[in-house]
Amino acid sequence: MRIPLILIAAIVLSTSCKKFLDVEPKGKLIPQTVSEFDHLLDNEDIVKYIFLDNNSGSMLGYMTDNMVMTDGYAKIIYIGASSPNMERYYGYIFRQPYKNPNSVDYFWDWGTYRPMKYFNNVIDGVNGIRNADNAADADATLAQAYTDRAWAYFHTNIIYGPVYKPGANNNAKVLPYVTSSDVETPVPDLSTEEEVMSKVLGDLQKALPIAPVATNFPSRPNKTATQAMLAYYHLFTQKYDSVVYYANLAWTAATVQGVDKVLYDFNTLAFANPASPATSAITSPDNKIYTSASRENLLYRVADATAGRFYPSDEFINLFDQAKDLRYKYFFQLTAGFKGTYLGVNYDDGQRVEYFRGVGRFNMTAGFTYPELLLMRAEGYARTNKLAEAMADLNTLRKYRFVTGTPPLAMPATQDLVIQLVLDERRRELPLGHIKRFMDLKRFAAEPGKPWSKSKIVHQLGTVTFQGTVDSPDFMLPISNTILLFNPQWGIPLDTRPY
C-alpha cells in the first residue's frame, strides 16, 4: 500500500527511507473524499513559514534598499548575542554563505517543500477519485492546489535562481519540480529556471478555467487570486499586455460591488490611543484591518512582522509625502532608537523613525493584496504606453491613501516617468521587509539602464560600506548540504565555505 506523502514524517527531499510505507500511522486520516482532500488545504503549514526563518523573520528583506541596520544593533543583537538568525546580518553585509550550509534551510524545507506535500497529495488524490458526481467540488479543490503549487515554485525559482531574463538563456538548474505525492517516486532532476517558469504557467493554466469565484478565506486562492498570479508571472516575463489582461480581469471581478469592498480609505482610520501612536492599535470601520481577513488581502501568506520595528532607509522614507500621505501617519513613528553596550563601547542610535506597519496594527501578506493587484494593472498599462489608464489606476489608489482633497497626480512628460510613479507607489504599498522588494530588485535587474533598475545595493555599518550585486550570486540562495547529501544525482558539490 502506498501512503500519501503527507502522512510520512520525513520530507521526500531529505530521505530515501521506505520502511514506513506499509504502516498506517495511528490517529491520521487517509483522505478518501474530495472534501477530505480539500480540508488539507487549510493546514497552517501552507501559509505560515513562507521564506521565514525559525523566528519568523526573513533575511531577504535585509538585503534590499528598504532597510537600515546600525552598527550598535549589529554588534549587540547579532554578533554579541550570537544570534540564531545570523543570516539576517550576513545578508545585510552580503557575506556568503549567508546560512549555515550544514543546517536545515527553513526557506526550502519549511517554506516550499513542506506545503508542497499537501498540494501534490491533493492533486493526485482528487484526480484519482474525480467523477461526474463530484466534478464541481473536485475542480474547485484542484484549482486551488495548482495555484498554490505555482505560487510556491515561482517564488522559490526567482529567489534561488539567477535573475530571470526574458528571451535570454535561463538554463541554470534551480530546483526539483516535485509533483508526485508518492514517496516511491524518485526525486526528479533539477529543472532549469526556464523549465520552472514553463511548469508554473502550466499549473496556472490548469487552474484558471476551474478556479472557484469565491473561497472561504484569503489563504485559499480564488479565481481572482489565480488571475493576479498570472499577472505577476507576466511582469517577470515582460509580457505586459498579458499583465494588463489578467490584472484587468481580476480587478474588474473584485470590484463589481465597488472599490470600497477591497480598499480601506485611510481617512476613515484612527489611532485607538492617539496619545501614544507608537504603541497604539489602528481602528477601521470593520475592525479587521489588523487581521488576515482584512478586506485588502487577496491571497494571504504570513509576512515578516519582525521587520516592522526595523529602521526604514532614508530612500524609503523619502518616497512618502509626510504631510498628506496617511501611510506615513500610521506606519512611521519617531522613537528612541536602539541603545546598548558591546565590549565596553556604548551605542545609542538616538531618535529614529521606525516603521510600525506590521506590529499588530495593519495586517501584511507575502501573497497578494488588492492594492498590489491594481498597481500591477497600472504598471501593465504604463509599460504598454496606455499612460492615461495607468495614471487613473494610480490616482484611484492614492484617493484611498492620501488626505481627502489631495489633488490627483498630473500626467508626466514621458512613459518612463509614468512607470517610475507606479513603481514608487508599489514600493510604498508593499511590506518593508520579506520577499516583495527582493523579488522586484531581481525583476528590475533585467532592465539595465532604466531608472528603476539597480545593479548594486549598498549598505553601511558605522564607517564600513558593503555592497551586493543584484545580478550575481549575491542575490541567489544555494541548496543546502542537508539536501545535496541525499541527492548526489544532481551533481552539485557540497558547500565547504566556512560559516
pLDDT digits (tens, 9 = 90+) for 169-224: 999 999 999 999 998 899 999 999 999 999 999 999 999 999 999 999 999 999 99
**Least trusted range by pLDDT, from 280-284, 404-408, 484-488:** 280-284
**Quick one: fold of 5-20+31-482?**
1.25.40
Mean pLDDT across 391-399: 98
pLDDT tier for residue 13 given thresholds of 50, 70 and 90: very low
Cα–Cα–Cα angle for 73, 76, 81, rounded to 5 degrees: 130
Residue 297 in contact with residue 367, Cβ under 8 Å?
yes
pLDDT of 359: 72
- Bridge partners, residue 466, by sequence: 459
Rounded to two decimals, the pTM is 0.93
Arithmetic mean of pLDDT, 67-95: 96
The helix (run of H) or strand (run of E) holding residue 154 is helix 135-160
pLDDT above 80: residue 14: no
Q: What is the DSSP string of 158-193?
A: HHHS----TTS----EEE-------TTSPPPPPEEH
pLDDT at 183: 85
pLDDT score at 28: 53
Other Cβ atoms within 10 Å of 172 Cβ, number: 14
- 437, pLDDT greater than 70: yes
Residue-level pLDDT at 260: 97
- Predicted confidence at residue 83, as pLDDT, reads 95
497's grid cell: 565555505
Q: How far apart are CA 314 and CA 346, in angstroms?
A: 24
For 323-365, write each residue's pLDDT tens digit: 999 999 999 999 999 999 999 999 999 999 999 998 778 999 9
Contact (CB, 8 A) for 79 and 143: no
Q: What is the pLDDT of residue 9?
A: 34
The yes-or-no verdict on residue 10 having pLDDT over 90 is no
Q: What percent of the chain has pLDDT over 90?
A: 90
CB of 308 closer than 8 Å to CB of 355: yes
Which pLDDT score is estimated for 304?
94
Q: What H or E segment, with its residue span, contains residue 151?
A: helix 135-160
Q: Which of 21-30, 112-121, 343-352, 411-420 has the lowest mean pLDDT?
A: 21-30
Distance CA 430, CA 439 (A): 12
Question: What average pLDDT score do residues 302-314 get?
Answer: 85
Q: Look at residue 70 and tell me whether its pLDDT is greater than 50.
A: yes
| Count of other CB atoms within 10 angstroms of residue 54 | 12
Listed as own residue / partner, the contacts of 77-84 with beta carbons closer than 8 Å and 24 or more positions apart are 77/338, 79/342, 80/342, 80/343, 84/54, 84/55
Nearest to 151 by CA among 255, 47, 59, 58: 47
Percent of the chain past pLDDT 70, that is, above it, reads 94
Which pLDDT band, with edges at 50, 70 and 90, does 306 fall under? confident
The answer to whether 231 and 242 have CB atoms below 8 angstroms apart is: yes
- 120-134 mean pLDDT: 98
